[in-house]
A and B are shown apart, each in its own frame.
Chain A
Amino acid sequence: MEDVEAQTHLIGDSGEDPIISKIALAEVQRAIDSLPQEQREVLALVCGEDLTYREAAEVLNVPIGTVMSRLARARRRLVEMTAAA
């Protein structure tokens, strides 16, 4: 199972205080909340469910290029928000 503490290894190098992870996860959650719905959807499908871009495009009935642009925008936003935290 994934837990918040384990996120230490995802955000930075080993030894980083787990509290940073909790803050980061909260920031990511907030960032996801703030995204337009169309970006949240593609984020959920690709990053949450591991669908390929093509699969996500079929699920959402949009071109694959649209999936990629929405996804890139969403993830840039997440990075900006978590970096600013």
Chain B
Amino acid sequence: MSELHLTDEILMAFADGELDQPVAAAVARVMAQDPAVARKIVEFQQSRRLTRSVFANNLAPDVPSELRAAISAKIEAYEAAVEGGEGKQAKETKSIWGGGMSPVRMALAASLAAVAVSAAYFIGQHSQSEVGRLAQLEHPRVLQELSRLESGRDAELPFGRLRVISTYRLPDNSLCREFRLQSTSTSTDAVACRTDGWRVTFALSDPAKGAEYVPSSGGDLLESYLDNLGAGNPLEGEAEAKALSETAR
């Protein structure tokens, strides 16, 4: 049985959205189970954002003029190729050294990597507010309702309203449920998956205030995360009821 060895280069490539889908999916699965891996991915994501900000704010160190010219020429060639329909999506702005224009496409573009990192970011942080939010998501009352509530139904809990949105069967046969926990101050969309018990693997609270850093909506992120897990179509009706009954055993 093959085993993916997660080097720093692979984790970085995952954070940058550079991995092919099957490998990215494998990394995402490990990440969901291993906070240390999640943490590393978050760090790669953060280093990218911070580096971008340094360049965007023209704080970057001087670069030899020959190299700058060579790279600018190459970039222009790429842009021409991209505009001609080749290669990847258009990069909107190129001005790392002294152009004064801010790069447009953020590292958090809607890639699978970014999606997964969003989850890891939540899970990997240790502030009181985030820990408290995660604790609420994994509160026994929430987990109990995840085994019981049909999709589309609500439950009023002491700390907010729980709505189960959908149910998925993953390729490895585990069950996942998408849900939302809405309190007076916070709305959190989350995914919990069940092996021995329910475990929250993705959570996205309140859209970031700095909207320019989150080009996709939370819904898009969550959807992509589910795609990344191989969730497929949601279970409905009897199929969902049967799956839920299995969790009660």
Interface residue count on the B side (C-beta < 8 Å): 51
Say whether B240 faces chain A, with CB atoms less than 8 Å apart.
Answer: no
The closest CB in chain B to the CB of A64 belongs to: B18
B54 touches A25 (CB 8 A): yes
A30 to B103, CA, bound (A): 21
The 8 A CB mask of B84-109 against A (1 = contact, 0 = none) is 00011001001011000011010100
Number of A-B contacts (CB under 8 A): 144
B9 touches A52 (CB 8 A): no
Closest Cβ of chain B to A16, distance in Å, is 8
**Which of A2, A28, A47, A50 touches B212 (beta carbons < 8 Å)?**
A2
The 8 A CB mask of B42-65 against A (1 = contact, 0 = none) is 011011111111111101110110
The 8 A CB mask of A29-49 against B (1 = contact, 0 = none) is 100110001001101111111
A72 to B7, CA, bound (A): 10
Q: A2-B212, A40-B63 are in contact. Are A68 and B12 (CB under 8 A)?
A: yes
Q: For B13, list chain A residues within 8 Å (CB).
A: 53, 68
With A48-B52, A50-B91, A75-B51 already in contact, 7 other A-B pairs whose C-beta atoms are closer than 8 Å: A2-B212, A6-B213, A7-B50, A9-B209, A48-B56, A68-B12, A82-B50
On A, residues with C-beta under 8 Å from B are: 1-4, 6-15, 24-25, 28-29, 32-33, 37, 40-41, 43-53, 55, 58-59, 65, 68-69, 71-72, 75-76, 78-79, 82
Q: Top 8 nearest A-B pairs by Cβ distance?
A: A48-B55, A47-B51, A75-B47, A48-B96, A59-B74, A6-B210, A28-B50, A68-B9
